[in-house]
Amino acid sequence: MKATKTIISTLRDAPNDAVISSHQLMMRTGMLRKLGNGLYSYMPLGLRSLRKVENIIREELDAAGLLEMKPTVVVPGDIWRESGRWDKMSGEMLTAQNRAGQDMVVSPTAEEAFTVLIREGLSSYKQLPVIVYQINTKYRDEIRPRYGVMRGREFTMMDAYSFDADQKSLDESYEKCAAAYRRIFKRMGLSTISVKADTGAMGGSGSEEFMVESEVGDDTLILCPNCSYAANVEKAACRPDEALDKDGKPQVPATEQISKVDCPGVETIAAMETFFKMPATQFIKVLIYKVYNSTLDFTDAPGGKSFRREEENTAAPYYPESFIAVAIRGDLDVNETKLAAVLKASGVELAEQEDVIKYSGAPHGFVGPVGLTKVPLLADESVMVSRGDGTFDVKLHDTVTGGGTKDIDNMHVEPGRDFVPFMTADVRVVKPGDKCPDCGGTFYMKKGNELGHIFKLGDKYTKSMNVTYLDVNGKPVTPIMGCYGIGVDRTLASIIEEHHDEKGIIWTMSTAPYQVVIVPVKYDGTMKEAADKLYDELTKEGIEVLLDDRNERPGVKFNDADLIGFPIRIVVGEKNLPNVEIKLRKEADARLVPLADAAKETAAVVRAELAELSK
């Protein structure tokens, strides 16, 4: 391609709303133009890189045996009613009515469409397993689109859906996609961190996120330096640790009995630290939570019988609403996502003051673990760990806790001696410095951005949308599904985030709009001749070349080449001929190479780098 035959419109400055490097560079290189909030259009150069990313995804998925399809982007609202998501998704979903008054949806995701399409022809177990995918436009009415195409309203997504006869087959489909994802990101030159959701406390359901490190990431990752443990802070588990006293020594079990202390107004942990002159690690705080739809059995727990249990017409009896007291070390916070998971509940929230008093006898700030009779007590593993035989490994000794009465605290409270919880679990918010549950390594933290996601769905859609096939015995059964997504634009932007410097983008060989740029100092005379020859030879070698034939000053052309970030630049200058200067964007130094060898040598570099990325 000649530069004068395409659209190259680089900008000196990025627009003000571009705050992250990839957004700034995508705008400055002219890859993107904005049409509206969250609506970005790809210009020719940008589209070439986007297509590269799409094609890498396509090639790897095809190689793994997935089948590409192309459902429509606009789908009938009725299929969303069928799955029950019409109301749930209505915020993010762009809908319209056609002239006949029928509801239409601009797909924000496509579980419904694929389920309907597969349902149509599915009759026998012999047709399973099958994994289908599309690389197609999505629209989500994001409240706050930002960072350019990182979070746009219209974007391209690869979404795949597997249909399997049983769990074992689903596990295989899932692994197949996970392996393909790893090859995809590797080929693009992206370092991804795979974050499994089923870490410790969360139990087994299969889900994995592929994240990249990013300063502006929406997710906070907890990582272990010694092993592959990586978790979203929302779900991260940790190994219980022994609390230390104010001198940094292990705490000693209480020998004295509980004594009550008047402490009017000492409601917070900070106030307690000042009042008792002790570190927060010596306190136990107790919080009362309201719990929704728990399927745990509280019958034998204190207060358990007072909660209404729904037993009729339901697969698993559950408590529409119940309460629990959570005891945790004073310096820690409760992770409500983990707490809800442990309680097998749909959600938890801190109880209102009225309920706190009703269940614990004291207002918030003075609730204690001792003598709770109206509410089950869950102890975080920072306090004690159940050994499963009625005994406990106590992590916190001789503690100060709320006294169960307003303005009273208890001193010398010994877990196990003075109170016994209904259950113990890891429900704390994990922080850097906490210990890895798998290997004991000391956690550190990073911000991350999700590029892709793989998820075992089970029969959520196939059941509500009545998909069945006949098994070996001719019996109708419901298949189970998995879903798999990669944000194509976000992946493209992430490549730029990882590969750029102060001058511009440094494309990886597999994702560059063109692998090579030829810059004649002046496109005239012998330089023009040499540049044209090189261009023809490289093109014959199958290399993607841009020839900068613009009538611009050399400095402008060099700056543009660096800004756009072609992996290889070949400068054709009069004084160097019959040599030309080859420079890799990622390296500082250039080499002089005879014009006669330049094409072969350049092609070899391109192929070697592509091969390295595909390894």
CB of 148 to ligand ATP, least distance (A): 9
Tokens of 239: 């190994």
Cβ-contact 446, 213 below 8 angstroms: yes
CB of 563 to ligand ATP, least distance (A): 24
CB of 511 to ligand ATP, least distance (A): 16
CB of 172 to ligand ATP, least distance (A): 22
Q: How many CB atoms lie within 10 A of CB 379?
A: 31
DSSP codes of every residue in 11-23: -SS--TT--SHHH
Of positions 196, 329, 453, 456, contacts ligand ATP by CB under 6 A: 453
CB of 442 to ligand ATP, least distance (A): 28
Stretch of residues binding ligand ATP (CB under 6 A), selected from 292-300, 385-393, 450-458, 568-576: 450-458
CB of 223 to ligand ATP, least distance (A): 19
Q: Which is nearer to ligand ATP, 302 or 485 (CB)?
A: 485
Per DSSP, 271 falls in state H
Of 487, 489, 507, which is closest to residue 498 (Cα–Cα)?
507
Tokens of 12: 């000196």
Of positions 189, 206, 302, 452, contacts ligand ATP by CB under 6 A: 452
Rg (CA), the chain: 31
Of positions 30, 46, 129, 152, contacts ligand ATP by CB under 6 A: 152
Name the phi and psi angles at 469, rounded to 5.
-140, 165
Cβ-contact 465, 110 below 8 angstroms: no
Q: Which is nearer to ligand ATP, 161 or 366 (CB)?
A: 161
Stretch of residues binding ligand ATP (CB under 6 A), selected from 1-9, 147-155, 560-568, 588-596: 147-155
Stretch of residues binding ligand ATP (CB under 6 A), selected from 283-291, 422-430, 483-491, 587-595: 483-491
Of positions 48, 85, 140, 585, contacts ligand ATP by CB under 6 A: 140
**Angle ∠(152,156,162) on CA atoms, nearest 5:** 125
Of positions 403, 421, 485, 567, contacts ligand ATP by CB under 6 A: 485
Count of residues making up the chain: 615
CB of 562 to ligand ATP, least distance (A): 27
Binding of ligand ATP at residue 171 (CB under 6 A)?
no
Cβ-contact 208, 177 below 8 angstroms: no
CB of 114 to ligand ATP, least distance (A): 14
Of 507, 280, 293, 308, which is closest to residue 399 (Cα–Cα)?
280
Q: Which is nearer to ligand ATP, 212 or 394 (CB)?
A: 212
Of 168, 222, 159, which is closest to residue 196 (Cα–Cα)?
222
CB of 490 to ligand ATP, least distance (A): 4
Pairing verdict, β 568-572 and 516-520: parallel
Q: Which is nearer to ligand ATP, 216 or 385 (CB)?
A: 216
Q: Which is nearer to ligand ATP, 152 or 402 (CB)?
A: 152
Stretch of residues binding ligand ATP (CB under 6 A), selected from 11-19, 435-443, 449-457, 604-612: 449-457
Of positions 45, 184, 451, 582, contacts ligand ATP by CB under 6 A: 451
Q: How many CB atoms lie within 10 A of CB 45?
A: 24
Of positions 487, 520, 565, 567, contacts ligand ATP by CB under 6 A: 487
Q: Which is nearer to ligand ATP, 209 or 380 (CB)?
A: 209
Of 404, 403, 422, which is closest to residue 412 (Cα–Cα)?
403
- Residues from 211 through 230 that contact ligand ATP (CB under 6 A): 218
Binding of ligand ATP at residue 109 (CB under 6 A)?
yes
CB of 29 to ligand ATP, least distance (A): 19
3-state secondary structure of 303: coil
3-state secondary structure of 576: coil
Sequence-ordered alpha helix ranges (H) in 515-614: 525-540, 554-564, 595-614
The Cα–Cα gap between 553 and 574 comes to: 15
Q: ω into residue 76 within 30 of 0, thus cis?
A: no
Site string for ligand ATP, 403-442 (x = CB under 6 A): ----------------------------------------
CB of 176 to ligand ATP, least distance (A): 18
Stretch of residues binding ligand ATP (CB under 6 A), selected from 152-160, 273-281, 400-408, 503-511: 152-160
Of 615, 610, 614, 561, which is closest to residue 590 (Cα–Cα)?
561
Q: Which is nearer to ligand ATP, 157 or 521 (CB)?
A: 157
Q: Which is nearer to ligand ATP, 450 or 562 (CB)?
A: 450
Of 304, 424, 308, 319, which is closest to residue 372 (Cα–Cα)?
304
Site string for ligand ATP, 492-531 (x = CB under 6 A): ----------------------------------------
Q: Which is nearer to ligand ATP, 153 or 585 (CB)?
A: 153
Q: Which is nearer to ligand ATP, 234 or 331 (CB)?
A: 234
- # of chain residues touching ligand ATP (CB under 6 A): 16
CB of 361 to ligand ATP, least distance (A): 42
The Cα–Cα gap between 465 and 187 comes to: 37
Of positions 380, 450, 562, 609, contacts ligand ATP by CB under 6 A: 450
Pairing verdict, β 545-547 and 579-584: unpaired
Cβ-contact 455, 207 below 8 angstroms: yes
Cβ-contact 435, 186 below 8 angstroms: no
Cβ-contact 87, 547 below 8 angstroms: no
Q: How many CB atoms lie within 10 A of CB 87?
A: 9
Q: How many CB atoms lie within 10 A of CB 77?
A: 18
Residue nearest to ligand ATP (CB): 487
- Residues from 177 through 216 that contact ligand ATP (CB under 6 A): none
Per DSSP, 241 falls in state -
Binding of ligand ATP at residue 157 (CB under 6 A)?
yes
- The site for ligand ATP (CB under 6 A) is made up of 109, 140, 142, 151-152, 155, 157, 218, 450-453, 485, 487, 489-490
